Amino acid sequence: MSLIKEKVDLKPYNTFGIEARCDFFAEIRSEEEFLELIQSTVYKNNKKLIVGGGSNLLLTGDFKGLVIKNSIRGIKIVSEDEENVLVKVAAGEVWHEFVQWCIGREFAGVENLSLIPGCVGAGPMQNIGAYGVELKDVFVSLDAIGIYSAERRLFNREECKFGYRESVFKNEFKDQFLIVSVTFRLSKKPILNTSYGAINAELQAMKIVRPGIKEVSEAVINIRRSKLPDPSLMGNAGSFFKNPEVTAVTYNKLKSSYEGMVAYPLANGNFKLAAGWMIEQAGMKGFEWHGAAVHVKQALVLVNKNNCKGKDVLELSEIVIKKVFEKFEVRLEREVNVVA
């Protein structure tokens, strides 16, 4: 079938810029193309990997199966009133282009999520978040198709079971659904979220007195550009690890040993520890391993500094986990989807 290509290099399809091949590759541009693909023997007989922007993906070797690139595009206003607008966005839309689309129309809610790499469909998978806002805050529902059943299913917010960089699609429904579109509720009467300290500081530096969503977006873009490597210049997948959650008892014990410990109190009484700070304290910032490295400006990010392999990044992550555990007795968890 014409949709399917063989032996495709996946380097352009993962922001780590890792060279790996897949046996079969299909780029789908509509729901119909996906339903057509499902009928093929290649689809039926092979393990499948769905990619969007490939920005949360670490390929540790060639993929023995079918890679499906979701390139379904389109943004549509579903309904609106004086306060809100419901927007349905196809999964293959580039996230930041969607954010800019919203800002251009004065639709508020996603400005703090500016410049997050990847596609819209990947957003709910791990409930993307930054600067005090998470995708779940503006999420209404998503449309999906079962990878095995080919059945359509609508998921509301509760059914997605969103958590910190978590959803049902990373857990019990991992590799079970193709996300077709996501519906968001955006506000025409913005309540800006500048509680995240760095945003206010940046707005001040920009000499903005009365910010709107455009200015908040610009502040976020400035902060991200100052810390996070541009994947088109140096391969990476954003934060490689999650910020670990610990009990107040553990946090207080750590705080008494490490005065500068950076942590955020959570509603459930626990604390979220800044993993980047711990990695830096463990002496790992800038550490290199066979072309993979801990980013010099943000230790939570691992980078493909010099043509490394996926397994080099994975090994580096093991070293980081070990060093942090030795120093703090806290075990870091990966955020990135590691594909063998």
> Binding residues for ligand EPU, per CB under 6 A?
130-131, 227-228, 238-239, 242-243, 262, 274, 276-277, 280, 285, 298-300, 335
The type of residue at 252 is: N
User: Could you tell me the smallest distance in angstroms from the CB atom of residue 282 to ligand EPU?
Assistant: 11
**Cβ nearer to ligand EPU, comparing 142 with 299:** 299
Tokens 């966005």 — which residue? 89
**Cβ nearer to ligand EPU, comparing 185 with 285:** 285
Alpha helix positions (H), the chain? 31-38, 41-45, 95-104, 122-125, 157-160, 197-205, 213-227, 248-257, 275-281, 310-328
User: Could you tell me the smallest distance in angstroms from the CB atom of residue 298 to ligand EPU?
Assistant: 5
**Cβ nearer to ligand EPU, comparing 166 with 280:** 280
Taking the C-alpha atoms of residue 119 and residue 107, their distance in angstroms, rounded to an integer, is 19
User: Could you tell me the smallest distance in angstroms from the CB atom of residue 235 to ligand EPU?
Assistant: 14
The closest of 203, 242, 210 to 330, measured between CA atoms, is: 242
Taking the C-alpha atoms of residue 141 and residue 160, their distance in angstroms, rounded to an integer, is 9
280 given a catalytic annotation? no
**Cβ nearer to ligand EPU, comparing 46 with 243:** 243
User: Could you tell me the smallest distance in angstroms from the CB atom of residue 198 to ligand EPU?
Assistant: 6
**Cβ nearer to ligand EPU, comparing 25 with 276:** 276
Tokens 């670490």 — which residue? 58
The closest of 184, 223, 189 to 203, measured between CA atoms, is: 223
239 given a catalytic annotation? yes
Among 55, 134, 165, 167, which one carries the catalytic annotation?
Answer: 165
**Cβ nearer to ligand EPU, comparing 14 with 298:** 298
Structure tokens at 89: 């966005």
User: Could you tell me the smallest distance in angstroms from the CB atom of residue 221 to ligand EPU?
Assistant: 12
Among 218, 239, 317, 334, which one carries the catalytic annotation?
Answer: 239
User: Could you tell me the smallest distance in angstroms from the CB atom of residue 281 to ligand EPU?
Assistant: 8
Q: What is the dihedral of CA 48, 318, 288, 312, to 10 degrees?
A: -30
152 given a catalytic annotation? no
The closest of 200, 194, 193, 153 to 176, measured between CA atoms, is: 153
Tokens 């946090």 — which residue? 251
Question: What are the Cα distances from residue 9, in Å, to 12, 24, 56, 210, 313?
Answer: 8, 10, 18, 48, 19
What are the residue numbers of the active site?
Answer: 165, 239, 335
